[in-house]
Each structure stands twice: as C-alpha cells, then as structure tokens.
Amino acid sequence: MDCFAMSGDAHFSVNTRLTRLLGETYRSSEAALKELVDNAWDADARNVWIILPLPMTSEAIVVRDDGSGMTSLEMQNEYLNIASDKRARTGERTPSMKRRVKGRKGIGKFAGLSLANRMDVTAVARGRRCSLTIDKIALTENENDLESVPLPFIEEEAASGEIGTTIVLSDLDNRLNFPTADRFREVLVHEYGREESFKVFVNDVQLSVEDVPGVSKQVEEVLGESGAVRLHFTIADGKKAPESPGIVLKVAGKVVGRPMLFGLDDDEEIPLKLSKRVYGEVELEGNDHFVTADWGGVIENSKAFQEIQAYVRSIVKQELQETHARDMSLQLARLKRQIDLRLQQLPEHRRRYAEEALSRILRRFYGESEDRISTIAEVALDAIEHDAYWAVLERINTTSRGDVGSFAEALEQFGLVELSAMAAQAKRRLEFLDFLDELIQNDATLEQNVHKALETNLWVFGRQFATMASNATLKSIIASYGIRNSQAIVRRSAQISCCSRILATAT
C-alpha cells in the first residue's frame, strides 16, 4: 500500500498552478529561511532550532523542529506536491495547536534552495524516518519536467524518541547574501518573539525583545497589589515598526490575551504612530485573579490590573517621550541644515517665528517621510517669506493659546488655504516658466520681448530667483499635493486636522 515501503527514488508531482517556482524571489536570505520556520509552525512544533554557520565556512544551515514530522506518504503527497494549497488541504488552523496556518502556495520549501545547492529533508512520524535529498542543479536542468527528476529517498526505523523534521542546507552558493544570525533574529522576532507555544532558537539563543532594533529597557519593581513585576521592552527604530506592536502580559509564565498598549493608545500626548513602536513583555509571578477564566484577557477595573497598567504606562511613556524628543531634534537639525540659507535671509523676528513654525510642523507631521516633511517645510517657508501669508500667520500666532480649540482650527484653516494656494501658485509659476522658456527658445524672440514678459514678473528674480533655479522643488511640491485633483486636498485636510489635534494637545 505505502508507496515508499521500500527505499528508492521519490518524484515530484506538479500541480498545474505551478508558477515561478524556483524563481520565487525573497527580499533577503533571512526572509527565505523564514519559510522553513513557518513550516515548523504549521507542523505544530513547540521548538525550532536554527544553526547558521559563520560566513565562508563550508558548514550547513540546519533547521530542526519537534513538530508532527511526515510519513513517507505525506512526504510524497504533501511535501513533494508542489504548489498545492495547504489551507485548501487541511484547513485554516493546524490540527493540534489550532494555529493559523501560514502555508499558502506550496512552494516555501524551495526557499531553502535559493541559498543552497543541496537540501536534505529528514522527517520522522510513527516511528519511521524518511530522508530525501533535493539537488538544485538537477532541478534547474530539468525545469520543464520536474516530475522526472529522481530524488534519492530512504525510509528506515527511527530512533526511539526521535520526532520532527530536520532540513539541512548544504553547498551554500550565495556567499554575498549569507544570512546572519542578527538579521535573521530581527526578521523572526516580530512574528515569533513573543509566541509562548513556539520557541525559536537561533544558534542556541532564544529570540527576545532585544532582537527588535531600537532602544531596549528592562526594569523590575515590587508593586503593592500585584507583587514582583518585570517589564522588558524595545522602542523600535522609526523605520521598522513591529508588525504586532504592544506589550504582552505574562502571568506565571503564561501569556494573557493579545499584546496591549496599557492605555498609551488613549494618551493624547503620545501620537498613535509612536505608541505603535513599542514591543515588549511584562511578567508577574503570583497574582492571577484579574485574568479572565479563558486566559484571553484581564478584568480591566481590577485593582491589580489598574496598578500594573499605571506602572507600565508611566515607564513606557517616559521612554517614548525621550525617543520622540530625540527623533524630532534630529529631524529638526537635518531640516535646519537644509534650509538654513533661507532662514538666514529672513529678518530676525521672522526667523524666530520660522524656527518655531518648523518645529511645529515636525510635531504635526510626526511619522511622515522626511521627504514629505521637508516639502511641507519648504512650502511653509514660502508662506513665511510671502507677505500676504505673513499676515495670516501673525494672526494665528496671536490667537490665544489658551483657547486650544480655535487655535487648532485656525491652523487647520490656514493649512488648507496655504496648501492649495501655494501649490496652485507653484503650478502657475511653473507654467509661466515653461512659457518663458518657449519664448526664449523661439528664434523670432527679441531681447525686448523677453524684457516685456519679465516686467510684471519680478518674482522670477529676487528670492524667487532661487525658486526658478530649483524647479525641482516646485515640481515636487506640485507632485506631493497632487493639486490637480481635489480629492488629494480633502485627504490632506483630514491629515491636517488630525495633526492639529496633536498640536493642540502639545501646546
């Protein structure tokens, strides 16, 4: 019955949906290797151990798990069944741990071959061990007829207690993109760093909060209601916000519900985008009577939880505010360097205002790309240099700060007018410059014609001479506000009103 009752050769069977098989691209070697960890997850493993050799050695990469393994039938019908949809086969959840299945396309196993010329798969199930060797060269030589490529296959008795699956990648061929342990841990930590039932070890060290790039902090305290508390978190670097941010609560080693932000998400002083950079865990030993019976959440108004929440929130908040201030002063410094020349040309009283306006812009647009912020800053400087806007700005400036609501409103209104007016003006100026260019290029044009055209357009010279010299800025302003369609303005206005809310609480 069993088609692998004897050892010999196994073969691929290829589903018609087979596409891009070996050509599947991964962003990095580490991202490719993650496919094998995902497979261990799907196999209900509790542990997966990955060994990455040092670069330039001839040792193999080994990925070993203690999951369900595979019988010889499963190896043939599932493992070697390329491009068969795991979830269509076995459902959305794994059989014993009820995990959400990660497998999709039935090609993850080939990720290993993007790094190695040879892959040895050993899987144990029901007391039998099956081993299979896949040779990349043989596959690529028979790309159009994978089914005909013989894959050396051995089935034998397993050692007692032997379980799971082991993948050995050898004859590694991509030295340039050799996976490093640090980078691999970084790739894995977002998804698996706080999984209690799935421990990942890279070179024998388990993933931890520290693997998230950023500033880490660890504190311990004994609280009145809840006893000893250990808080360990990282504020992730701006560019790489964690995929599932928040802090998990562990009571007596067991995770309660999903990661939480402990009230930071409702804190007006912390932009939501900033709080989404927190990644950590808080552990307590004894007291678990505020945990719901299903261990899926907490009784929020219990004294003990309130106490933990206040503690976690205050410590993380302080760290967030420091990070925030650091980020902003860095950005401000960069921005300043970029626009210093323009600032210097402003009269003293306006310069002071401009500096203030710039730091306000940074606060309002926290989390936006630096490109965008610098474009906004340029527009704001245009506004400050432009008299008509200056009057509006001054009015805003003298609006009572106490009346936060109308101050924010004034800013919002101004923002709308300013953005549309400035961008429209920028666009018209660009058009004018095009016409001017046309005029100048035309052989029939005389010098006096050019003079005539410029007579009423002195903006072309003066400070705006700089504008003319950097058409790129004008172009980018227009592109970034997409002034051609009013929807973009509506979108911007939504953003601005949200930002002015943040600003309102900051002043």
Residues at the site binding ligand ADP, with contacts judged by CB under 6 A: 35, 39-40, 42-43, 65, 67-70, 78-79, 86, 103-109, 165
Residue 108 Cβ vs ligand ADP, minimum distance, rounded to whole Å: 3
Residue 158 Cβ vs Mg ion, minimum distance, rounded to whole Å: 23
Give whichever of 69 and 214 is closer to ligand ADP, judged by the CB atom: 69
Distance separating alpha carbons of residues 55 and 363, to the nearest angstrom: 44
Residue 483 Cβ vs ligand ADP, minimum distance, rounded to whole Å: 45
Give whichever of 124 and 282 is closer to ligand ADP, judged by the CB atom: 124
Distance separating alpha carbons of residues 220 and 194, to the nearest angstrom: 19
Distance separating alpha carbons of residues 55 and 51, to the nearest angstrom: 12
Distance separating alpha carbons of residues 83 and 411, to the nearest angstrom: 55
Give whichever of 43 and 146 is closer to ligand ADP, judged by the CB atom: 43
108 touches Mg ion by CB under 5 A: yes
Residue 192 Cβ vs Mg ion, minimum distance, rounded to whole Å: 14
Q: Which does 179 bind (CB under 5 to 8 A by kind): Mg ion, ligand ADP, none?
A: none
Who's near 94: CB < 8 A, 6+ residues apart? 41, 42, 43, 44, 101
In angstroms, what is the C-alpha Rg of the chain?
Answer: 31
Give whichever of 39 and 309 is closer to Mg ion, judged by the CB atom: 39
Chain centroid to CA 375: 23
Please report, as a single letter, which amino acid is at residue 479: A
440 phi, psi to nearest 5 deg? -65, -40
Please report, as a single letter, which amino acid is at residue 389: Y
106 touches Mg ion by CB under 5 A: no
Give whichever of 65 and 378 is closer to ligand ADP, judged by the CB atom: 65
Give whichever of 18 and 346 is closer to ligand ADP, judged by the CB atom: 18
Q: Which does 106 bind (CB under 5 to 8 A by kind): ligand ADP, Mg ion, none?
A: ligand ADP
Q: In the structure encoding, which two tokens stand for residue 1, read together?
A: 């019955």
Distance separating alpha carbons of residues 338 and 357, to the nearest angstrom: 15
- How does DSSP classify residue 291? B
Give whichever of 35 and 120 is closer to ligand ADP, judged by the CB atom: 35
Q: Which does 67 bind (CB under 5 to 8 A by kind): ligand ADP, Mg ion, none?
A: ligand ADP
103 touches Mg ion by CB under 5 A: yes
Q: Which does 287 bind (CB under 5 to 8 A by kind): Mg ion, ligand ADP, none?
A: none
Task: Determine which helix (DSSP H) or strand (DSSP E) holds 408, and give its type and residue range.
Answer: helix 404-441
Position with the least CB separation from Mg ion: 108
Residue 200 Cβ vs ligand ADP, minimum distance, rounded to whole Å: 13
Closest CA to 33 of 181, 207, 163, 208: 181
Which of 29, 39, 71, 81 is the binder for Mg ion (CB under 5 A)? 39
Residue 376 Cβ vs Mg ion, minimum distance, rounded to whole Å: 43
Closest CA to 158 of 70, 62, 44, 80: 70
263 touches Mg ion by CB under 5 A: no
Residue 4 Cβ vs ligand ADP, minimum distance, rounded to whole Å: 15
* CB neighbourhood size of 201 (10 A): 14
- Site size for Mg ion (CB under 5 A): 3
251 phi, psi to nearest 5 deg? -115, 125
Give whichever of 107 and 376 is closer to ligand ADP, judged by the CB atom: 107
Distance separating alpha carbons of residues 124 and 182, to the nearest angstrom: 30
Give whichever of 165 and 331 is closer to Mg ion, judged by the CB atom: 165
* CB neighbourhood size of 436 (10 A): 16
Residue 26 Cβ vs ligand ADP, minimum distance, rounded to whole Å: 13
Residue 108 Cβ vs Mg ion, minimum distance, rounded to whole Å: 3
Residue pair 453/436 in contact (Cβ under 8 Å)? The answer is: yes
Footprint of Mg ion (CB under 5 A): 39, 103, 108
